[in-house]
Structure 1
Amino acid sequence: MKQSRSLRAAWLTVSAALLGLATPLSVSPPATAAPSSPALHWTRCAGDGLDARQQCASLKVPMDYAAPGGRTIDVAVSRIPAEKPAARRGALLLIPGGPGNTSLTDPSGKGQKLPQAVRDQYDLIGFAPRGLAPSTTVSCALQHADLATSTLRPWPAPDGSITGNLATARRLSGACARNGGELIRHISTLDEVHDIDRIRAALGEHRLAAWGVSYGTYVGAVYSQLFPQHTDRIVLDSNDDPDPDLVERGWLHAYERGVEDTFPEFARWAATAGNPDRVATTAEEVRPLFLRLAARLDRAPLPWPGANPPELNGNVLRQTMLDSLYAPSRFPVLAELMLAARRGTVPPAPTPPPDQALQNLAAVGIGTICNDVAWPTSTADYREAVADSRRLHPLTAGMPRNAMVCAAWPHPPRRSPVRITGQGPSDILLVQNARDVATPLSGALRLRRALGARAVMVTVDSTGHNAYLANGNACGDRTVSRFLATGKRPDGDVYCP
């Protein structure tokens, strides 16, 4: 059924469940060049639906880069070789979002959407970041109920209370401390960046091109900051604010702006005559209707057998709203749920991914977010911030300022976050949709300012998360493709109407 397919698509966005966020902190000193790595042993990849040309390998890297001679872990790498060896330029790394996503299958997937001129020149490289299968895995062994998106990215209670959220934070952080082993302490952006440089060395490349998306833009920016001599053509797509004082905390805060930027597009679509999922006769009616439905479900949730949680409450509707604004193609998910809630019914429960996959993904996301930057521990600070957020941004109801698992994280960050600067080669192209719920334009502009002369930015008049070859437009796609194929960028920042 249409509803079932749509809701299943929304559920699969759980990979972003944890986000997909003082004085200036110091930059971590760049590591010395990675030691010469043995050649990767390429074999046939496991799994179905992959391009027959895709190969896989495993690379051993230090678990702790402060003790590089100690325990090692495995990082899985994949590639499809350049299609025109005579024109080969190097390797293009596909950096996944998240944190908690993988790009291991991307050479066979989105990599095949790249123009032929790019695929001719570059080996397409994917990888499973440390902690994610089939790399050495990590798990917090959370309870099934705690794998719900609205728990991992918690919403305040209907009255604004965060007491239950703080108890959940203590329970989840305790589970990770008990079950995550030593590896959970070494899951971070800086660890991933150093792994990437080990991948580069193992590939035998002096320089690495990259296409980073969402959280991958932060990874790509940090790599470009710490290893500028090893960068080639860098595309950062759907960009995170690089504020080193906040990092992922700031990305969560950004949902307030992202929803305000994007919800009007949903409202116009949801009020369009002839739309089978039309919820109102005018766009102006959609926002108050949504708020009324959420408030009614706060008071009287509807049983939803088979779902996690097993009821349709106000926060589940709000979470569905957030997930559905990631792409216009997902707008029907929210509209269908609003229509069902107005009738007092529920659609078929979405089919979630296996718990084992969610456990793995959640642990990597938690580890990265909590290890990258210190989070406040004051209950009063969270309560005040949530109250202000609920008053100013009722659509997001305080969630972006709420206490999540990191509020009770037992481990202080091992290193300070990296401050992004304009020091380094001018080889970065940013592409950004004007309306993006997860990485709003306001944050992308901060990354653009931080990079200075190193970057040029293409702003696309489109709606959705992920711009290049996804929710952008032909003008933006042409500009990025030309850069990857030829190295030519616009002379300055451009706008693609």
Structure 2
Amino acid sequence: MRRSLPVLVAAVTLAALAPQASAEPRPPELAWGKCPPSLIGVDDPRMVCTTMPVPMDYRNPKGRTIDVVVSKLPTAKPEKRRGVLLHNGGGPGVASLHYPAAYARIYPQEVLDQYDLIGFDPRGVGYSTPVTCGRPLEGYPPDLYFPFPSTDGSIARNIEFGKALARDCELHGGEVRPHITTANTARDMDRIRIALGEKKISYNSGSYGSYLGAVYATMFADRSDRFVIDSNVDPNRAWHDQFALWDPGFELRFPDIAAWFAERHETYKFGATPAEVRKKYEALLAKLDANPIIDPVFGRFDGNVLRIATFGVSYHTIQFPQMAQYWAFADTGVYPPDGLAKDALASAVPTVLTVPADNLRASQLAVLCGDAEAPRDMRHYQREVTIHRKLFPLMAGAGTNVWSCAFGRGPVEPPVKVTSKGPANVLMIQTLRDPATPYIGALGMRHALGQRAKMVSVDSGNHGAFDPSSPSCALRESMRFLATGVLPARDMFCKPDPAPSATGQVSPLLLNR
């Protein structure tokens, strides 16, 4: 995910749409060459890239094609090679072409020896026929794009914003936009498998990537090898009901934040106890709700901007010092002299002329709106927002609020029903207090996969258990499974290791945010 702000899927897919082994298309001729500039700030000179055509609409496989750009970081020991290991950066909408470069720094040698590491920009994203809604980045205010209601709880401004954004996305998205969906990206993954000449693929991803992996493993069960999915979403909550989990999820995460600040009271002065820290944060929100201040770069800084900024950097404990800078600015109107936190609200993506400035948001919305029908009754949203504001006040009801998906065209096909049919080859890893993909959603994924999966839970609040900066049994079991194919005998639980080693690497889910 980009360093702007995070974001973050129950019917069956028509069987005729899922490619069958007996009817596989002829593999295209791939011309491997130099990769384009990295959109995530991580690169590896050993990687090579290629562009392959895929059907825009798989219901019409001989119709218009679009491009999907694929990367490969080959194993240095082909004699030990098992196959290919695909990666996705989450989002949805995250450019994932260069993710092999990031994972190559994390995997142990026994994994690197066995796999060619594969990345790709999903359809509509980055270098893969990117879509746009025709807006500059300023056209996606963070507290409206992530829909925070007004101070009085009204969602009127969210409805207005959502309608206008839906019009722009449909106007500028063209005929490609309705086909930028998770199911079609899974079909593209299978075309990548075919193009690489592989019988099966392995996979490692998290957050939205957990859903993408589960959808592929459902649609192409016999083509899935070893699948690791981290920070899991509930496949039966696409997408409104999944986002509604943000509200209780952040309430569960906040005690970690409060305890961290209380332990550092002498440094930050936000409270000597967790209760005092929460009281201070609530006071800052109330202050900004009543009297917004002006940020020198981003303009109006009100309570909702502080809410989304705090939520955005709650994904990992290493970001808490950045959170302290936001709180200090909210308190005094001045950023601390030891650095500015503003870049968490700004895009850190390099300027690439072939990639629209709003591509992350435009492709994200295409997937969210194309995967499943959103509720259309505005009274439904207002009722839920009102209830959640009382039950989970820290997020002010934003998780249940209306997105632009409630307006405009609906999906072109029903969502994939993730099931337990298939081999037992999925390892789920999950932290207990993940604010972005809360644990209750992961339980939904665990139930859907049934006998196919084992789940490893970690007593942590970070977004991402595949995390070398906070190693645990989840990271070790993931590496063991990828290297050996052996799942844990049963679901597991553990605490993070007591003394993490300083590897300099963090969860790949924090890239491109």
Task: Tell me the TM-score range normalised by the shorter chain.
Answer: over 0.9
User: Does structure 2 conserve the Cα–Cα contact (< 8 Å) formed by 1:139 and 1:359?
Assistant: yes
The aligned amino acid for 1:319 is I
Q: In structure 1, the residue corresponding to 2:457 is in which secondary structure?
A: strand
Residue of 433, 444, 457 corresponding to 2:431: 433
Task: From the superposition, tell whether residues 277 and 40 of structure 1 become closer, same or farther in structure 2 (CA, over 3 Å).
Answer: farther
Name the counterpart of 2:393. Answer: 394
Distance 1:132 1:202, change over 3 A: same
Alpha-carbon contact 2:4-2:348 (below 8 Å) kept:
no
Partner of 1:158: 151
TM-score, reference length from structure 1 = 0.92
Q: Distance in 1 between matches of 2:14 and 2:246?
A: 28
Aligned length: 478
- Number of the residue aligned with 1:341: 330
How has the CA–CA distance of structure 1 residues 311 and 174 changed in structure 2, closer, same or farther, with 3 Å as cutoff?
A: same
1:297 aligns with 2:297: no
Q: Which residue of 1 aligns with 2:108?
A: 115
Find the partner of 2:8 among 20, 25, 49.
20
Percent of aligned positions with the same letter in both sequences? 38
Find the partner of 2:19 among 32, 37, 54. Answer: 32
Q: Distance in 1 between matches of 2:105 and 2:71?
A: 14
Between the aligned partners of 1:273 and 1:252, the Cα distance in structure 2 is: 32
Q: How far off is 1:95 after superposition?
A: 2.0
Contact in 1 for aligned 2:430/2:456 (Cα 8 Å): yes
Secondary structure at the counterpart of residue 107 of structure 1: helix
Question: Are 2:44 and 1:58 equivalent residues in the alignment?
Answer: no
User: Which residue of 2 is the match for residue 489 of structure 1?
Assistant: 487
In 2 relative to 1, CA 359–56 (structure 1 residues): closer, same or farther, beyond 3 Å? same
The equivalent residue for 1:46 is 36
**Cα distance in 2 between the residues matched to 1:116 and 1:285:** 47
Is the 8 Å Cα contact of residues 132 and 356 (structure 2) preserved in structure 1? no
Mapping 1:177-326, distance limit 5 Å: 177-243=170-236, 246-273=237-264, 276-307=267-298, 310-326=299-315
Amino acid across the alignment from 2:491: D
Equivalent residue in structure 1 for 2:320, among 314, 331, 354: 331
TM superposition shift of 1:90: 0.2
Kindly indicate whether the alpha-carbon contact (under 8 Å) linking 1:466 and 1:472 is maintained by their aligned counterparts in 2: no
Alignment of 1:370-385 (within 5 A): 370-385=369-384
Q: 1:152 deviation in Å?
A: 1.4
1:171 paired with 2:164, answer: yes
Q: Which runs of 5+ in 2 are unaligned?
A: 496-513
Give the C-alpha shift of residue 259 in structure 1. Answer: 0.4
Asked if the contact 1:293/1:338 (under 8 Å) is kept, the reply is: yes
What does residue range 134-145 of structure 1 map to in structure 2 within 5 Å? 134-145=127-138
User: 1:198 & 1:149 partners in 2: Cα distance?
Assistant: 35
Secondary structure, counterpart of 2:460 in structure 1: strand
Tell me the distance in 1 between the aligned counterparts of 2:242 and 2:4: 16
Q: In the TM superposition, what is the alpha-carbon distance from 1:289 to its structure 2 partner?
A: 1.7
After the TM superposition, which of the residue ranges 479-488 and 342-351 deviates more from structure 2? 342-351
Contact 1:460 1:472 in 2 (8 A): no
Question: What are the within-5 Å matches in structure 2 for residues 43-122 of structure 1?
Answer: 43-47=33-37, 50-122=43-115
Equivalent pair of 2:27/2:194 in contact (CA under 8 Å): yes
CA distance in 1, matches of 2:280, 2:363: 37
CA distance in 2, matches of 1:13, 1:209: 30
Cα deviations by residue, 1:252-286 (Å, 9 ceiling, x for unpaired): 11111220221100000011146623411111112
Whether the aligned pair in 2 keeps the contact of 1:277 and 1:332 (CA below 8 Å) is no
> 1-side partners of 2:413 and 2:405: how far apart?
16
1:101, 1:337 → 2: CA distance?
25
Q: Is the 8 A contact 1:462 1:471 kept in 2?
A: no
- CA separation in 1, counterparts of 2:13 and 2:469? 34
- Call closer, same or farther: CA 1:358–1:465 in 2, change over 3 Å: farther
Deviations 1:59-78 (A, max 9, x none): 10000111111110000000
- CA 1:232 to 1:406, structure 2 compared with 1: closer, same or farther past 3 Å? same
| Alpha-carbon RMSD | 1.8
CA-CA distance at 1:415 after TM superposition: 1.0
2:267 counterpart SS class: coil
State the match for 1:5 in structure 2.
Answer: none
| Cα distance in 2 for residues equivalent to 1:377 and 1:392 | 24
Shift of 1:417: 1.0
Structure 1 unaligned residues grouped into runs of 5+: 1-9
CA contact (8 A) 2:72 2:118 kept: yes
How far residue 79 of structure 1 moved from its aligned partner, in angstroms, is: 0.7
Counterpart code for 1:395: L
Which secondary structure state, in structure 2, belongs to the residue aligned with residue 400 of structure 1? helix
The equivalent residue for 2:403 is: 404
